[in-house]
């Protein structure tokens, strides 16, 4: 048995959920999936019951989606950790960067602040997001981090 409206909603649910990383959305998607599956079973035609294989396939797809989301979350965590270690390794080094307005800057990294948007370097009192850094060189012998 096929319920087009339900299949369209569940098919749409599987697409965007793979890019979402928020827990409340994922919990709502799980709840919606289960509600749709129960509705399919409750309102099926008794003379033409749904194929149990379809339900098994839908459950398997949803389980695979959950596992892929877990892998994506772990990968994001790993990337965040690598960026943090990389930024910490820049302390005491000379960096050059280009600001969004096109102006260039350079200086000695004296510290790193870890914010929600990623690591931010402290270069002589100026906060420089790690993404803006264009080059890194060893500090000259006269330079010392503060």
Given a contact cutoff of 8 angstroms between Cβ atoms, the answer to whether 119 and 90 are in contact is no
Query: Is the distance from CB of 120 to CB of 128 less than 8 angstroms?
Result: yes
Domain boundaries, the chain: 4-82, 89-137
User: Would you place residue 2 in the very low, low, confident or very high pLDDT band (cuts 50, 70, 90)?
Assistant: very low
DSSP output for 26-88: HHHHHHHHHHHHHHHHHTS-TTSPPPHHHHHHHHHHHHHHHHHHHHHHHHHHHHHHHHHHHHH
Give the HSE-up count for residue 44: Cα atoms under 13 Å, Cβ half-sphere. Answer: 17
In this structure, are residues 142 and 121 in contact, taking their beta carbons and an 8 Å threshold?
Answer: no
- pLDDT, tens digit, for every residue of 57-87? 888 888 898 899 999 999 999 998 898 888 8
Closest CA to 96 of 66, 69, 126: 126
Q: Output the six-digit token pair for 90.
A: 């820049």
pTM of the model: 0.53
The pair of structure tokens assigned to 122 is 């402290």
How much of the chain, in percent, has pLDDT values that exceed 70?
Answer: 78
Average pLDDT over residues 85-102: 90
Q: pLDDT tens, 8-28?
A: 433 443 333 344 444 567 677
DSSP, residue by residue, 8-31? HHHHHHHHHHTT---HHHHHHHHH
Average pLDDT, the chain: 78
């Amino acid at each position: 048995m096929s319920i087009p409206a339900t299949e369209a909603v569940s098919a749409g649910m599987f697409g965007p959920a793979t890019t979402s990383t928020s827990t409340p959305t994922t919990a709502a998607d799980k709840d919606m999936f289960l509600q749709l599956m129960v509705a399919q079973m409750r309102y099926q035609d008794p003379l033409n019951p749904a194929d149990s294989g379809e339900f098994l396939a839908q459950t398997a797809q949803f389980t695979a989606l959950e596992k892929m989301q877990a892998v994506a979350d772990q990968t994001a965590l790993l990337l965040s950790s690598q960026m943090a270690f990389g930024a910490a390794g820049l302390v005491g080094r000379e960096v050059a960067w280009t600001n969004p307005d096109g102006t260039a800057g350079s200086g000695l990294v004296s510290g790193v602040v870890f914010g929600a948007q990623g690591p931010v370097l402290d270069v002589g009192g100026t906060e420089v997001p790690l993404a803006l850094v264009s080059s890194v060189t060893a500090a000259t012998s006269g330079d010392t981090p503060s």
